[in-house]
Amino acid sequence: MENFRTFENICNLLRNHSYKVTPQRQTILHMFVEHVDRHLSAEEVYMLVKNENPEIGLATVYRTLDILAEIGVLIKNDFGDGRTRYEFSRKDEHHHHHHLICLRCGNVSEFDDDLLESLEAVIMKRNHFKVSDHDLKFYGYCSKCEGAQ
């Protein structure tokens, strides 16, 4: 994944939206830059950052994640496990990438091939409906869990 979201770019984006770049937000941002491939819940973010900055509270993590999603740095995902997960948005994507979700271990991986473009063209032609985005999730079992069923 092309990571156009450098720490400095995100800090500037926060400032441009009239948000302060507090030490707590910096710690959370550094954690996301270090774990760019992961789809993290607020609780997972909290567990990762509290080791570095023990005074950060869970409410601060939630507020920061909401702000980062509001300004387009993060995307909120619902994978059906009762927790919102966050990941970096991709500047170069027309559509969101897709997710493969293991029903046993909960692992989430990304599937980048967008095979739905031809379906969108058919939808537009037949229904006179221009699709601006879609969200696709595949639920099943990863290679580690497949044999354990």
**Which residue ranges make up the annotated binding site for Zn(2+)?**
102, 105, 142, 145
What are the binding residues for Fe cation? 96, 117, 134
Query: Three-state SS for 30?
Result: helix
Cα–Cα nearest to 103, from 79, 136, 77: 79
> Alpha-carbon distance 113 to 135, whole Å?
13
Distance CA 146, CA 80 (A): 20
Residue of 29, 27, 56, 58 whose CA lies nearest to 44: 58
The torsion region of residue 57 among left (phi > 0), alpha (psi -120 to 50) and beta comes to: beta
User: Going by C-beta distance under 8 Å and a sequence separation of 6 or more, which residues neighbour residue 43?
Assistant: 58, 83
- Mark the binding-site residues, compressed into ranges: 96, 102, 105, 117, 134, 142, 145
